[in-house]
Structure 1
Amino acid sequence: MPRPIRYQSRYSLPASELYATLVDREYLQARLDRIGGDNAQLLDLSSDADSAKYSMRQGVSQKYLPGPIRSFLRGDLVIERTETWRLARPGHYDGTVTARVKDAPGSMGGALRVADIAGGSEFVLDAEAKVDVPLIGGKIESAIAEQVVKLIEREARFTEEWLAR
């Protein structure tokens, strides 16, 4: 059964400025350089004021993985992640995120949102992790969900630092 992943963070700038930052090549590359892990790479990016799509590769050394994932994989965790964004209405951007683990029967997918709120904007991730492995799939899904939240928290801290420059 897929494991839900939910995360939200708030920023003091309007959604249009947060969106512009989240899909900016320089920002994405700096974020990957800082927290993307081994062999991180921005694979593709196209963006404008109303829509964006980018793909990236992120890595996590096996030594940092929780036991259930480490016992299942035969090496480092390599994640290929794609995000799409579109302007739904002024001050509100909707998106999707998909991620696949290389050489593993697991995936993550869900919805993204950046929207104006009182005093700024809010980023929301509402997704789920799914692993098609009998008996231990649930444990791996839980571990993946936990690791995704930790990664998104690190990305949010990086975004706050980037915006404060």
Structure 2
Amino acid sequence: MATRLIHDITYDAPLDQVSAMLGDAAFREDVCAYQRVLSSSVDVEEHADGTRTVVVEQVQPARGIPSFAKKFVGDEIDIVQREEWTSADAAELHVTIPGKPGEMIGTIRLEERDGRTTETVDVLIKVHVPLVGGKIEGLIAELLRKALDAENAVGRGYLSA
């Protein structure tokens, strides 16, 4: 079983500015701080062929997680998010929780229209746990939606500065 999440966030900025923001390690650290993660590290690697790899590792507290899920993740959740940007407007996304039975695989797309850019995140969430996997997938989808909304809030401030 798997849960699909498609989430759009919009910025009042052209695509090149949004793409540059998403490749800025300081922006990614600001998003982590906004979410009050316990610890984080960001690595952005620009490649000679114009592609880019962004890796965000973070540890989040497991507050607000239902008891059926907390026994699987514990008090803290380690998250590794890897984005392989093949162009300024497209990336492959892979998110794992090391040591836990699940992952998120999908894409990030940027599209500009009339000076506004929409970032579309389309992921398939898979949790390989009998009986409660679907419930955990739904929980992860909601947490991801909140994380993307946090990115949008920080991003709007970043782009208006």
TM-score, scaled to structure 2 = 0.90
Q: Which runs of 5+ in 1 are unaligned?
A: none
Residue in 1 that maps onto 2:108? 112
The amino acid across from 1:16 in the alignment is D
Counterparts of 1:27-38 in structure 2 under 5 Å?
A: 27-35=27-35, 37-38=37-38
Q: Give secondary structure in 2 for the equivalent of 1:147.
A: helix
Q: CA deviation at 1:56?
A: 1.4
Q: Distance in 2 between matches of 1:83 and 1:66?
A: 29
Q: Distance in 2 between matches of 1:13 and 1:150?
A: 22
Which shows bigger deviation, 55-64 or 7-16? 55-64
CA contact (8 A) 2:37 2:61 kept: yes
Q: Distance in 2 between matches of 1:68 and 1:161?
A: 37
Q: Distance in 2 between matches of 1:152 and 1:108?
A: 14
Q: Which runs of 5+ in 2 are unaligned?
A: none
Q: Distance in 1 between matches of 2:7 and 2:63?
A: 25
The amino acid across from 2:133 in the alignment is G
Which shows bigger deviation, 114-123 or 75-84? 114-123
Q: CA deviation at 1:36?
A: 5.7
Residue in 2 that maps onto 1:146? 142
Q: CA deviation at 1:46?
A: 0.9
Q: CA deviation at 1:64?
A: 3.2
Deviations 1:81-109 (A, max 9, x none): 1011122xxxx611111111122101111
Q: CA deviation at 1:154?
A: 0.8
TM-score, scaled to structure 1 = 0.88
Alignment RMSD (CA, Å): 1.8
Q: CA deviation at 1:113?
A: 0.5
CA contact (8 A) 1:131 1:141 kept: yes
Residue in 1 that maps onto 2:67? 67
Q: Tell me whether 1:47 sits opposite 2:50 in the alignment.
A: no
Q: CA deviation at 1:62?
A: 2.1
Q: Distance in 2 between matches of 1:73 and 1:126?
A: 24
Residue in 1 that maps onto 2:21? 21
Deviations 1:50-76 (A, max 9, x none): 421111112221223233321322331
The amino acid across from 1:108 in the alignment is M
Q: Give secondary structure in 2 for the equivalent of 1:64.
A: coil
Residue in 1 that maps onto 2:118? 122
Q: CA deviation at 1:137?
A: 0.7
